Structure 1
Amino acid sequence: MTPKGEELTQKGEIPLIFELKRKITASFSAQDDISSAQNSSTKILKMIFVLKGTLTICGLHSKKPLGILTDQQHNLIINSEDLVWKTDHKDHEIFCLDIDLFFLERYLPVEHLGLLNLKKGLETNQLAMFSPQNLHINPEIVTILNNLKTSNHTGFCERLFLEAKVLELLMFQSSQFEHLSENAELRQLKEDEMNRMLAVKEILVNHIDNPFSLRHLAHMVGTNEFNLKRNFKIAFGTTVYGYLNQYKMEMAKTMLLAKNITIAEIANKMGYTYPTHFSNAFKKYFGYLPNKLKSGKLSVLIFRGLENF
């Protein structure tokens, strides 16, 4: 992801990864339309994560949108000099990572449908997306993006860190794409139903310390409890409270890594009456207690693992 004027360039024998002239930032420039032609070849792929706002992809000589990504959506596309990216809102947060097609081919089977979609677009010189339907950002993806934004690795360690994070993101994109491909219901979820589920998700993350009941949530978005449970599972691959727990644990982990907040304070923010209840939930989710992470004893196993070498 780049602010105005910042370029992404490739470097090194491994055809991954990209090098940034400045630290990865959280959003595109809000002042101007964004052109995707930033010294990139037609074989460069862009992982796009729209955390806030709307990103429209148009042809260079056409005003008709070729693709649109909105709040909390992500996808992987073939980049082209004939594409122009436009943001519709000044208040937006869009994260973009460049990778090479050869890198993708190293990790995905040749018959993978997402890879075939991209190759077909490359052959026909048309906009190609990994998934025909945009995928939805989950709490684990948000954690990875936050770690990319705040990473202070340099040199060889930075390359290892970036490659590891891109592989994690690719894993989530592939997993969600397979879930989408295998579930006809998800492809048939109507736009208004999907919007209700997105609204439920927003309510959940804004009230993590005091969550509403399923019945209350359903009424808040204009549906019933049965449809809420069914459609939320279709949209996000987990239950309502399963998603909430995932979000809380990932947020708690990010807070612990900051090292300027106590476990008791985090437990309170996550809605736990007793820190021990939070610690037990954290261990059940991650496999280790939060105090181990807080003390740095697990530093080699977590996102900032290379810092201690």
Structure 2
Amino acid sequence: MHCNEPETWYVIQNKEDQHCTLASRLNQFYQSDSSERIIHIPEQLGQGFWQLNRIHPSMELVHSDATFHRATSLSSVERDNSIKLSFCMGESLSWSIDGMPGEYEVNTLECAAFGSQHTSSTCEFALHQHFKGFTIKLDQTTLSETIQHLPIQHLTKAIRGSSGGFYNQKMSTGMIRMVNEMIQCPYTGELKQLYLNGKALELLAVYLSECIMDRSVSDNHQGLSRTDRTSLNKAKYIVDTNLAHPPTLEELCRQVCLNEFKLKKGFKQLFGLPVHAYVIEQRLQAAYYLLESKQMNITTAAATVGYNKTSHFSAHFKRKYGKTPSAYFNHSPS
């Protein structure tokens, strides 16, 4: 395998098993010239697959869905000049990068943007964890005219300015819906390519709008010092990680060292919603994913995201999506 092979995303190796069948299959998978390909995990290692669709010369889509019967570590060397957007639809995934301290992680319903540099990394697949991801790869050397009109330069700037070259953001409900629609594509052949192309461009536009352009504008809001923005981002993180039981406004102020006026005004200014409305929005997005992926029934999903009464959850859901959750998903409440 040589560095001048442009079609190769990664060179993959299992350092504990030089004859690893999965590593061999993945290398063949990424080197293949076919526009659509799939490999399955060897039964002795686990179950699941990697599937790739090259929808045109500048864009490839990879869907992976895997559960391992034993802990597995795969190392990869990335050599091409491309940008990747990886959407985590399953359990959290962590990895380390040679020469960089600590570990990197993308959590459930987060998107990681990375690329445009040569890296060597190792990913740990834990026993029985369900890894499910969807990646869009953009080849910067052959960007089509359509994609060139998107503000890709803002994405590369965000990646360069992020820690370790990985720019992680939370997925919105719209992104979750679009990724699921591509995973569950109902078409085959040329119609499938057309459908995936349109959906991928739609997802790119939404991602750039919500995670790159809006954030760039927010960061330039006047009246917020760098210290204030740091405290407000910390407040958002605390809320995001405690959706079911968020702290009171008073407690949140104490934790981030802001007075109530600065917290309420700054949070809305930076993130577009008051704290309470933001909590409701994030709860509804989390519940939408749980119901869309059929992981839970309505009652359990409502309780998981912090609603003590299913009726309150249903009212909020209908206000946002136009239908009650039972009508939207055709689910039984319990």
1: CA distance, partners of 2:106 / 2:266: 18
Tell me, yes or no, if structure 1 residue 257 matches structure 2 residue 292.
yes
TM-score calculated relative to the size of structure 1: 0.61
CA 1:244–1:13 in 2, change beyond 3 Å: closer, same or farther?
closer
Alignment partner, residue 83 of structure 2? 45
Alignment partner, residue 78 of structure 2? 36
Alignment partner, residue 137 of structure 1? 169
Is the contact between residue 45 and residue 98 of structure 1 (CA under 8 Å) also seen in structure 2? yes
CA displacement at 1:290 relative to structure 2 = 0.9
Gaps of 5+ in 2: 1-8, 14-22, 36-53
2: CA distance, partners of 1:143 / 1:244: 18
Alignment partner, residue 23 of structure 1? 64
Q: For 2:56, what is the secondary structure of its paired residue?
A: coil
The AA in structure 2 aligned to 1:36 is E
Tell me, yes or no, if structure 1 residue 204 matches structure 2 residue 239.
yes
The AA in structure 2 aligned to 1:45 is I
Aligned length: 268
Alignment partner, residue 232 of structure 1? 267
Higher helix share: 1
CA 1:136–1:19 in 2, change beyond 3 Å: closer, same or farther?
closer
Q: For 2:278, what is the secondary structure of its paired residue?
A: helix
Alignment partner, residue 79 of structure 1? 116
Alignment partner, residue 138 of structure 2? 99
1:137-171 C-alpha deviation (Å, 9 max, x unpaired): 23417962995599455844765357525632442
The AA in structure 2 aligned to 1:241 is H
1: CA distance, partners of 2:225 / 2:94: 22
The AA in structure 2 aligned to 1:79 is S
Q: For 1:23, what is the secondary structure of its paired residue?
A: strand
Is the contact between residue 45 and residue 78 of structure 1 (CA under 8 Å) also seen in structure 2? yes
Gaps of 5+ in 1: 119-127, 297-309
Q: For 1:35, what is the secondary structure of its paired residue?
A: strand
Tell me, yes or no, if structure 1 residue 279 matches structure 2 residue 314.
yes
CA displacement at 1:184 relative to structure 2 = 5.0
CA displacement at 1:225 relative to structure 2 = 2.3
CA 1:16–1:286 in 2, change beyond 3 Å: closer, same or farther?
farther
2: CA distance, partners of 1:75 / 1:260: 23
CA 1:45–1:131 in 2, change beyond 3 Å: closer, same or farther?
closer
1:237-262 C-alpha deviation (Å, 9 max, x unpaired): 43323332222111211222244633
Is the contact between residue 232 and residue 240 of structure 1 (CA under 8 Å) also seen in structure 2? yes
CA RMSD of aligned residues (A): 4.8
CA displacement at 1:282 relative to structure 2 = 0.6
Tell me, yes or no, if structure 1 residue 173 matches structure 2 residue 212.
no
Tell me, yes or no, if structure 1 residue 223 matches structure 2 residue 258.
yes
2: CA distance, partners of 1:279 / 1:176: 28
Show the 5 A alignment for 1:120-131: 128-129=156-157
Give % identity.
17
CA 1:266–1:130 in 2, change beyond 3 Å: closer, same or farther?
closer
CA displacement at 1:219 relative to structure 2 = 1.0
2: CA distance, partners of 1:106 / 1:227: 42
Q: For 1:99, what is the secondary structure of its paired residue?
A: strand
After TM superposition, the structure 1 stretch with the greater mean CA deviation from structure 2, 130-139 or 211-220, is: 130-139
1:40-83 C-alpha deviation (Å, 9 max, x unpaired): 4x3x3322569766876x8xxxx699xx9876786655635xx1
2: CA distance, partners of 1:151 / 1:115: 24
Higher strand share: 2
CA displacement at 1:283 relative to structure 2 = 1.5
1: CA distance, partners of 2:295 / 2:168: 31
Is the contact between residue 78 and residue 119 of structure 2 (CA under 8 Å) also seen in structure 1? yes
The AA in structure 1 aligned to 2:57 is P
Q: For 1:18, what is the secondary structure of its paired residue?
A: strand
Is the contact between residue 267 and residue 273 of structure 1 (CA under 8 Å) also seen in structure 2? yes
2: CA distance, partners of 1:212 / 1:224: 15
